[in-house]
Amino acid sequence: MSSNFQQYGRALLGNGYLIIPIKPGHKRPALDNWQTARLGAADLTRYPGHGVGVLCGQGAQPVAAIDVDTTDGALAARFVAWCQDNLGLTCERVGNAPKILLAYRAEAEGWGKATGAWFEDLGGARHRLEILGKGQQFVAYHIHPDTGEPYEWVDFFGGLEAMRAGDLPVITEAQVEEALQVFEAMAEEAGLVRVSGSKNKAGGMTSAPIDDPLMAFEPPVGIDLSEARRLVAYVDNEDYDTWLKVGMSLHHEFDGSVAALDLWDEWSSTASNYASREDLEKRWESFGRSGRNPTTARWLLKVGNQGKRDAVKAEKRTALDDAKAQILACEDSIDLVNEVARQAGEAAGTDLALRAELAGLIRARFKELTDTSLPVADVRAAMAGGRKVVAFNKQRRQMTEFGNAERMLDHYGDGLMYVPEIDGWFMWTGIYWRRAAGVELEHLAKETIRALPDEAKTIESDGERAEFFKFCAISQRAVMVRNMVSLAQSDPRVVVGMTDLDKLTHLLGVGNGVIDLHTGKLLPPDQAYRVTTITAVEYDPEARAPLFERTVADVFFGDADMIGFFQRLVGYSLLGKPDEDVLAIPYGSGSNGKSTVLGAIRDALGEHAKMASADTFLSSGAAGGNAGAAREDVLRLRGARFVYVSEPDEGSELREGLIKSMTGGEPLPARGLYSKTTVEVAPTWVAFMPTNHRPIVKGDDHAIWRRLLPVPFTRNFDQDLTLTKDPDRAEKLAAEAAGILAWCVRGALAYQKDGLQPPGAVRKARDDYKSDMDLLGEWLDECCEVGPNHVESNARLWASWEAFAKARGELRFIASAKSLGRRLQAKGMEPVMNTYGLRGRGLLGIRVRVVGDFT
């Protein structure tokens, strides 16, 4: 196979050009980082069958190429003649005539691309002038993918292989601007029509440094064609620039595939100014051949999602107008609260602004119909479908504290829960059950008392009415208010056991409802779910987080197995059923990305992610915590899915008993700081303990080691020169919260399909971890002999172990002779006494070789 890259590359290198390989059958570079590539003679044989491209705007002799993109032969010839006369004779390259490129040298390094306005002829073909600068390239020697013929240098110099870069004519920025203006004037004189809204753009100096890797390559975002089809449906296809950018973004995202071209054509065909499939194909081929800052799917995501939001907003506004009309037309107060309010709530959905607007209108209409005020809480509950107007004339409550408590629950009970085990009230927000403060319940009690005079309207007897007003006055005493709340706590209408909270673990509360983690679908809010924990992030299953996904890929060196495993691990944590019995230990030295990645996940999960002190899981080596004791720190984890453990100190020991209980699914006893009642908390979480120093594990039994899941984060963002550390990355990731949440949910779906499947790197990390912690095994290898005929006294065994462990500062691993004996018996040694020539107690199956000094 012939290679233009090898044949002509050597000459171009010798002439001072910066060269790159061009893909066979394409105009695109073969390298991902082509914009910063610096190839030499040793690279010439590495790209057989490739063409030669020349980088523009860089190096000691920066090339600036004038690309005359027109199919009008007369216009091309006239403009080339102007360039020869005004800019100087130079090398001229033809690929698909009459289009032509002229190579010049920029007066300074770092020029950006300059483009002229688009012009259109009667046949709909587009014409434009481009001056290629920094971050771009042109094909010098190759086979043209359209004509099947070689690119040809038609000048008298013999092309770039015969012209040194330093000998190219120099052009200035002023000359570039003049060239753009001259071409546009010639185009108009040739009868071409300027495309509406199109104008020229001078290049100038670029601000990005040459060695900026983020400039060098813009990877695909990772959307699929179905999502792209959804996005373009919300984009205006009548505007020319927008239409062109959609094509560019699809071309970039799907690497110029025919399927993506089909989608662009399908979307374009509904526009009034649609030309033809042939027109699209010509433009499609021109996309991606060069250019800094290409239009990517990130632009499409931004524009498409904004279009969707605008469409949804318009739909909501229409629904709002309909709901307003219903409210104003309603003539019955009972229907207004029981039916119209519910329908208005459904129309407003989770939009707080719409709900507030409609709630105000409902209260105003209720006031018009009844001449009484409807409490705000009543309106909210009615809009959520949970409130019915109480008919006072059918049932009068007693004039007692007990009666007032019942009145309060008549008004607000449908939106309240009381959980005796934790002495806590919860209020329905329309989205989830939020833990309520005591003052909020007192407010509801006061609102109930304020509404008491309305009840007097149902009393016919003047005497009874007078007595009732006296009761209204007495009810305003502070003790009456407090007693209302206290008495309401025992009412079966609101009492809910703690085990009923968040019981449906396959449901995940989010800002716009609940996610069914079995299907990945969004469900509307429902009081019956008893969801008390949410993230404020609204769920969009089609949301993407390109920067986050790229960060995860960078952290794991692009290892697809590790990336997939990590996503499944995070997704598994969301399910609320930690059946795998694991403690995740992301570990690695500093600047490895683990805090950035885990922090972004934690932020996206909101209240589902909870912080835990390292002391909950670790001890400093003194007497550890009792796994069976009642603990406030465990109570705070109730309902969590993703527990983020603070960084442990070096030398901390794992509380193995607690870890076994917590990861084994056993209910844990817990108690509030000032509570006398102990409750059981069933673990619903997976703990992630990021650390630079893996905690000490004394046990060597399978029960503890099968639970530990070390996840290696070994890339160093400070020392790896192929990466650029972004100080604003955390802020940028915060903007991708919806996409990160969707990424986590996709991980949950993947886990339910494929399981965790730890890759080899994780299994090896666990084996290495266990080996590093096996101090007893190290002592046996260095200081002892194991065999069926060996016997040794307990005293000599302890003396040897004590000296060995003290020399390493690790005596706490096994701190007594009894503990040492138990550990050795677990390895198969048998206790003996006054036998096998041994006086006193000892073990059969081992003998000491080294007792002495280990310093």
Nearest to 117 by CA among 198, 204, 176: 198
Per-residue pLDDT, 665: 66
Q: How many CA atoms lie within 13 A of 777 on its CB side?
A: 9
Q: Could you tell me which of 132, 169, 161, 171 has the C-alpha nearest to residue 35?
A: 132
Spatial CA neighbour of 510 closest among 542, 543, 534: 534
pLDDT band for position 622 (cuts 50, 70, 90): very low
The SS3 call for residue 419 is strand
User: What is the C-alpha to C-alpha distance for residues 309 and 351, in angstroms, rounded to an integer?
Assistant: 12
| CB burial readout 756-779, b (16+ within 10 A) else e | eebbebbeebbeebbeebebbebb
- Mean pLDDT computed over 499-516: 94
pLDDT, position 130: 93
Give the per-residue pLDDT at 367.
86
For the residues 803-808, what does the mean pLDDT come to? 88
**pLDDT more than 70, % of the chain:** 91
- Averaged over 606-617, what is the pLDDT? 88
How many whole angstroms from its chain centre is CA 269? 35
Are 340 and 326 spatial neighbours (Cβ–Cβ below 8 Å)?
yes
Confidence of residue 68 (pLDDT cuts 50, 70, 90): very high
What b/e string do you get for 482-521 counting C-beta neighbours within 10 Å, with b at 16 or more?
ebbbebbeebeebebebeebbebbbbbbbbbbbbebeeee
SS3 106: strand
Measured between alpha carbons, how far is residue 327 from residues 336, 349, 386, 780 in Å? 7, 17, 18, 83
| Residue 516: predicted pLDDT | 96
Residue 289 binned pLDDT confidence (cut-offs 50, 70, 90): low
Of 428, 411, 412, the closest CA to residue 527 belongs to 428
Q: Tell which CATH classification among 3.30.230.10, 2.60.120.10, 1.10.10.10, 3.40.50.720 matches the domain 774-848.
A: 1.10.10.10
Checking if the pLDDT of 237 tops 90, the result is no
Which token pair is 535? 């993230």
Q: Where are the alpha helices (DSSP H) in 349-477?
A: 352-370, 376-383, 401-412, 438-450, 452-455, 462-474
Q: Calculate helix-pair angle for 240-253, 225-232, nearest 10 degrees.
A: 170
Averaged pLDDT, 65-84 = 94
Residues 6 or more apart whose Cβ sits within 8 Å of residue 47: 3, 5, 6, 21, 30
State residue 211's pLDDT score: 37
- DSSP designation for 207: -
Domain chopping of the chain, boundaries: 4-212, 218-309, 330-389, 390-496, 576-736+765-771, 774-848
**626 vs 477: CA distance, rounded Å:** 47
Residue 189 three-state SS: helix
Q: Which residue has the higher pLDDT, 68 or 615?
A: 68
Chain segment 115-129, per-residue pLDDT in tens = 888 899 888 889 999
Q: Which residue is listed with tokens 């934790």? A: 422
pLDDT score recorded for residue 156: 79
- pLDDT computed for residue 305 by the predictor: 83
Q: Which residue has tokens 């959609």?
A: 246
For 154-198, how does the pLDDT look when each residue is reduced to its tens digit (9 = 90+)? 887 889 998 999 999 999 988 998 999 999 999 999 999 988 666
Supply the angle between the helices 240-253 and 297-329 in degrees, to the nearest 10: 120
Higher pLDDT, 381 or 278: 278
Q: Tell me how long the chain is.
A: 855
SS3 string, 445-493, reads HHHHHHCHHHHHHHCCCHHHHHHHHHHHHHCCCHHHHHHHHHHHCCCCC
Lowest mean pLDDT among 129-133, 191-195, 635-639, 657-661: 657-661
| Cβ burial, residue 159 (10 Å; 0-12/13-18/19+) | buried
For 295-307, the pLDDT digits (tens) are 888 888 888 888 8
Q: What is the pLDDT of residue 774?
A: 82
Among residues of the chain, what percentage have pLDDT more than 90?
38
pLDDT at 626: 45
**Can you state the percent helix, strand and coil of the chain, rounding each to 5?**
45, 15, 40
Where residue 205 falls among pLDDT bands split at 50, 70, 90?
A: very low
Cα(430)–Cα(511) distance, integer angstroms: 10
Between 775 and 543, where is the model more confident? 543
**HSE value, Cβ hemisphere, 13 Å, CA-based, for 789:** 0
Per-residue CA distances from 134 to 54, 68, 113 (Å): 11, 18, 7
Dist CA 558 CA 276 (whole Å): 41
Q: pLDDT category, 219, cuts 50, 70, 90? A: low
Mean pLDDT is lowest, of 439-453, 590-604, 622-636, 711-725, for: 622-636
Q: Does the pLDDT at position 274 exceed 90?
A: no
628 has pLDDT over 80:
no
How far is residue 759's CA from residue 565's CA, in Å, rounded to a whole number? 7
Identity at 674, one-letter amino acid code:
Y
pLDDT digits over 456-471, tens only? 777 777 788 788 888 8
Cα–Cα distance between 679 and 667 in angstroms, integer? 9
Return d(Cα 273, Cα 284) in angstroms, integer. 18
- Report the pLDDT averaged over residues 507-536: 94
What's the pLDDT score for residue 199? 63
pLDDT of residue 392: 38
CATH fold group of domain 576-736+765-771: Rossmann fold (3.40.50)
Q: Supply angle C-alpha 805, 807, 813, rounded to 5.
A: 25
Give pLDDT, residue 385: 67
- Span 592-598, average pLDDT: 91
Considering 135-144, 207-216, 219-228, the range whose residues carry the highest mean pLDDT is: 135-144
**Over residues 477-506, mean pLDDT:** 90
Sheet with 507-510: strands ordered across: 507-510, 513-516, 521-523
Give the per-residue pLDDT at 390: 39
User: What per-residue confidence (pLDDT) applies to 215?
Assistant: 36
Residue 623: what pLDDT?
Answer: 40
* Average pLDDT taken over every residue of the chain: 85
Q: What is the mean pLDDT of residues 377-381?
A: 75
Please state which of the ranges 279-288, 359-368, 536-545, 741-750 shows the lowest mean pLDDT: 279-288
Q: Residues near 449 by Cβ (< 8 Å), separated by ≥ 6?
A: 404, 472, 475, 476, 480, 481
Chain centroid to CA 330:
46
As a whole number of angstroms, the distance between CA 777 and CA 762 comes to 22
For the ranges 577-581, 662-666, 810-814, the one whose mean pLDDT is highest: 577-581
CB-based contacts of 822: which residues, under 8 Å, 6+ apart?
A: none
